[in-house]
Structure 1
Amino acid sequence: MGNEYRAKVFKSGNSVALRLPKALGFEAGQEVRVREEAGKFSFEPMHVDARIDLAGLWGSCPDLKPLLPEERVFDRSPRLWDDPDWPGWQMEPRE
């Protein structure tokens, strides 16, 4: 089995927080995945290194130009509730 540490739960605003020992190696602001299974909790650091590097794409589509503001007007999508025959309009009002 591994090392055992004591941690303290305290109130932080409207939430509770868990103060972890420095020896665990977590840094302030680091994201952690917490799992609960049968009343037991486990946590592990989340590795957020999945960045997308677009540097290699720059200039690879020379004909691609940004849309002008007047080109950003799109046709309105029909919505179910825009139909006057939609049965949702005939629902009885709540009291």
Structure 2
Amino acid sequence: MSEEYHTKVFKSGNSLAVRLPKGLGAVEGTEMRVREVRGTFTFEPSNVQRKISGEGWIGQAPSLVVPPREDFDDPPRAWDDPEWPDFRK
């Protein structure tokens, strides 16, 4: 027979959240799949590995790519000066 745990729903930002008890063995950062069937909720780890990549669409958004500007004046900054107190080498 499986063990029973009790938890409360709470507000987290503009969403609702549920804390999963440590005894369930869930690992922090695990993506979970939540299903609701006639008022019963099921939580299970999602096996989907998602990686965010701009490959495939970055070339279709030319406004996101800033062309180099030869007329841009890049003046020296205080933190570029080795005499500055917080200079990092």
TM-score by length of 1: 0.48
Structure 1: gaps spanning 5 or more residues: 51-71, 73-95
Q: Which residue of 2 aligns with 1:23?
A: 23
Structure 2: gaps spanning 5 or more residues: 51-58, 60-89
**Equivalent residue pairs, number:** 52
Aligned counterparts of 2:35 and 2:41: Cα–Cα separation in 1 = 6
Aligned counterparts of 2:49 and 2:33: Cα–Cα separation in 1 = 15
Q: Which one-letter code corresponds to 1:13 in the other structure?
A: G
Larger radius of gyration: 1
Percent identity of the aligned residues? 59
Q: Which one-letter code corresponds to 2:10 in the other structure?
A: F
> Are residue 42 (structure 1) and residue 4 (structure 2) matched?
no
Aligned counterparts of 2:49 and 2:13: Cα–Cα separation in 1 = 30
TM superposition outliers: structure 1 runs of 4+ over 6 Å: none
Which string of whole-angstrom CA distances, capped at 9 and with x for unpartnered residues, describes residues 46-79 of structure 1? 12469xxxxxxxxxxxxxxxxxxxxx9xxxxxxx
CA RMSD across the alignment? 2.3
TM-score by length of 2: 0.51
Aligned counterparts of 1:19 and 1:9: Cα–Cα separation in 2 = 8
